[in-house]
Structure 1
Amino acid sequence: MNDEIEDYLHYLRVERGLVHNTTVSYRQDLVAFSQYLHGQQIASFTTVDRYTVLNYLATLQQAQMAKTSVVHVVSSLRQFFRYLANENKINADPMLQIDTPKSGHHLPQVLTTTEVDSLLAAPDTTKKLGVRDRTILEVMYATGLRVSELVNLTLDELHLEMGLIQPLGKGDKERIIPIGEVAIDWLQRYLTTVRPALLKDQASQSVFLNAHGRQLTRQGIWKNLKSLVRQANINKNVTPHTLRHSFATHILENGADLRVVQELLGHADISTTQIYTHISQKRLTEVYQKYHPRA
């Protein structure tokens, strides 16, 4: 089964030209499914039927996997089995009778401006890594970068003299984002005093480095953020994406056009951006109920 998964991933990279991060997510879904099949003593994809898939999805739901993640798993399996059927590696596609579950419409967690201020103030900027972490938070909140875009940000993508950065987003698509003066000031401080000390005698184009002078990872960002959230006494489930959500929500609440937010976030479809209008409407309702004398 592992060989068939690897053949499929090779097909995605070479024939369909999918980027690395996308194939990694497919691999995770398919390897997890093959491990489940192994536990059920199913040795081949040819013997997988509709009920096998339904039982697997039931185990994911029992494990309280997020609905959006289950939807992604179904999509991964659907495309994989379609590939196997087209290549005549299976006799029947078990996914043809599987409906895609509804993902639900959960509004993303958003920080208030007061909570953002508390989080930004949490790093100890008397220390090198504290300056780095403060710079990371400032850049993420100022630009709405995805965490993958942040860790892959290179020196060549910084145009601070023009107040711009040019990250490489999903699908290897570049976009240009304005960055505010406060974030620029922290970036310049980090780049001139902290980054050279972390880099030492090594060579790297990555902007953000770990304590060993190597490119900071997504996991490193998550770990540091969780610690800083605790220090800031914020009682919310804050992830790197929370800062992206907060960035979009706050500029919308202050009058930005939805199309502008779409461009800043790098969304291919404006329907993805429209969830932020729901957040803003929710905020408007809260303000109305709090301040209107007859609410």
Structure 2
Amino acid sequence: MELKEMFQRYYENSLIHKAAGTCDYERSKMNRILKLLNELSLYDSGQIDKNVLNRIISALKLKCSNKTINKLVLILKQSFRFNEIDFEYLQQFSKLREGKRRFNIIEHDELKAIMNHVVKLDSSIGNNLLYQVMVMLMLETGIRANELINIEIKNIDIERHCILLTTTKTKKERFIFFTSLSEYFITLMLNHGPVRKQLLFNSLKCREALACDLKYLIDKLKKELDISMLHAHMFRHTFATLSYNNGMDIFILKELLGHENIATTQIYTHITQNKLQAAYSKTFGSINQGIDTESLGITKQN
């Protein structure tokens, strides 16, 4: 079977069973691996054997991290399996070792700067009001980018300060909640400007907002506030970390974030524990500095 046809059939099946964001993600990975295969003069699934697969991995290592390679190989595996193409070596191929997963959060000072900047924007100018609602909801709910741009007006309950999300990564509906600050901007948005039909964010230059519009907004914030690192998912990580640090039950946090597995939510507890240990070591390291511990046979720890 031609590789292009193989990927296309898998993608068409994904469109039926998976969320739009997941399909877009898989499509980008398919295009990337297909481009590499074509560069290696590989156009048919029958051309790929054990030696060829190892050659593909070697070529990818020159351009990608092990984490990215694992994702690309996974798409290849799933496409072969879906099309019932037998390739035992590929299906048994072990993941390459990845570095520890890092979660970056927005630091306290940067978070304050973002909030102050957004609140002070003139809501009557351009798309400022739309940006204000987007940023406040990301900060207050930990919502995913694709879930944000697909919020339906009919699912917003202003009085109860909640929104029902129907387009989610897991395809399971869930509620998110917001404060009176977000309520102010959402109400302003619904009562002013162009008439909105279905989606809350459907008035950006007379069209629906897209993920690239959200990226543009965040890049703009990053530049204006001179923040070294900022992307949409950092708002989600920050929301989760702050919620847990302030005593939110981890099972409640799991539901708010829309995680299928509690283990995913527990990643944020590990971040907190690492920070606690680092703070502890810094404090007691300075207290013990200058004390002759070697005579006691105690080895200093960093």
Smaller-chain TM-score range? Answer: 0.7 to 0.9
Q: Judge conservation of contact 1:46–1:91 (CA < 8 Å) in 2.
A: no
* Separation (CA, whole Å) in 2 of partners of 1:129 and 1:91: 52
Matched residue of 1:170: which SS? coil
* Separation (CA, whole Å) in 2 of partners of 1:19 and 1:265: 16
**2:143: which partner in 1?**
145
Q: How far apart are 1:163 and its partner, in Å?
A: 1.1
Q: How far apart are 1:47 and its partner, in Å?
A: 1.1
* Separation (CA, whole Å) in 2 of partners of 1:45 and 1:209: 42
Are 1:164 and 2:162 an aligned pair? yes
**1:230: which partner in 2?**
223
RMSD over aligned Cα atoms: 2.3
* Separation (CA, whole Å) in 2 of partners of 1:76 and 1:101: 15
Q: Judge conservation of contact 2:219–2:230 (CA < 8 Å) in 1.
A: yes
* Separation (CA, whole Å) in 2 of partners of 1:26 and 1:96: 18
Q: How far apart are 1:290 and its partner, in Å?
A: 5.8
**1:8: which partner in 2?**
10
- 5+ residue gaps, structure 2: 289-302
2:200 is aligned, of 190, 200, 207, to 207
Moved more, 142-151 or 169-178: 169-178
**1:187: which partner in 2?**
186
Deviations 1:200-219 (A, max 9, x none): 6xx53121245412111111
* Separation (CA, whole Å) in 1 of partners of 2:244 and 2:266: 11
Q: How far apart are 1:266 and its partner, in Å?
A: 0.2
Please report the TM-score for the alignment, with normalisation by the length of structure 2. 0.84
The structure having more radius of gyration, on CA atoms, is: 2
1:112 is aligned, of 99, 107, 112, to 107
* Separation (CA, whole Å) in 1 of partners of 2:64 and 2:43: 27
1:98 is aligned, of 93, 96, 120, to 93
Q: Judge conservation of contact 1:225–1:240 (CA < 8 Å) in 2.
A: yes
* Separation (CA, whole Å) in 2 of partners of 1:192 and 1:22: 33
**Which amino acid in the other structure matches residue 225 of structure 2?**
A
Q: How far apart are 1:97 and its partner, in Å?
A: 4.6
**1:48: which partner in 2?**
48
**1:241: which partner in 2?**
233
Matched residue of 2:165: which SS? coil
* Separation (CA, whole Å) in 2 of partners of 1:152 and 1:181: 21
Please report the TM-score for the alignment, with normalisation by the length of structure 1. 0.86
CA gap 1:257/1:40 in 2 versus in 1, 3 angstroms: same
Q: Judge conservation of contact 2:21–2:146 (CA < 8 Å) in 1.
A: no
CA gap 1:189/1:241 in 2 versus in 1, 3 angstroms: same
Deviations 1:47-86 (A, max 9, x none): 1112322332333332234x433222122111112233x3
**1:285: which partner in 2?**
277
Deviations 1:66-123 (A, max 9, x none): x433222122111112233x3xxx4544403521123332221011232111112234
Deviations 1:110-146 (A, max 9, x none): 1123211111223462124223212211111100000
* Separation (CA, whole Å) in 2 of partners of 1:245 and 1:38: 38
Q: Judge conservation of contact 1:165–1:176 (CA < 8 Å) in 2.
A: yes
Q: How far apart are 1:33 and its partner, in Å?
A: 2.1
Are 1:257 and 2:249 an aligned pair? yes
* Separation (CA, whole Å) in 1 of partners of 2:204 and 2:184: 22
* Separation (CA, whole Å) in 2 of partners of 1:223 and 1:56: 34
Matched residue of 1:165: which SS? strand
Please identify runs of 4+ aligned residues in structure 1 that moved more than 6 A.
none
Moved more, 136-145 or 20-29: 20-29
Are 1:77 and 2:73 an aligned pair? no
**Which amino acid in the other structure matches residue 284 of structure 1?**
L
* Separation (CA, whole Å) in 2 of partners of 1:93 and 1:272: 30
Number of aligned residue pairs: give it. Answer: 281
**Which amino acid in the other structure matches residue 221 of structure 2?**
L
Q: Judge conservation of contact 2:163–2:177 (CA < 8 Å) in 1.
A: yes
* Separation (CA, whole Å) in 2 of partners of 1:290 and 1:180: 36
Q: How far apart are 1:282 and its partner, in Å?
A: 2.6
CA gap 1:210/1:286 in 2 versus in 1, 3 angstroms: farther
**2:260: which partner in 1?**
268
**1:173: which partner in 2?**
172
Q: How far apart are 1:286 and its partner, in Å?
A: 4.4
**1:121: which partner in 2?**
116
- 5+ residue gaps, structure 1: none
Q: Judge conservation of contact 1:122–1:231 (CA < 8 Å) in 2.
A: no
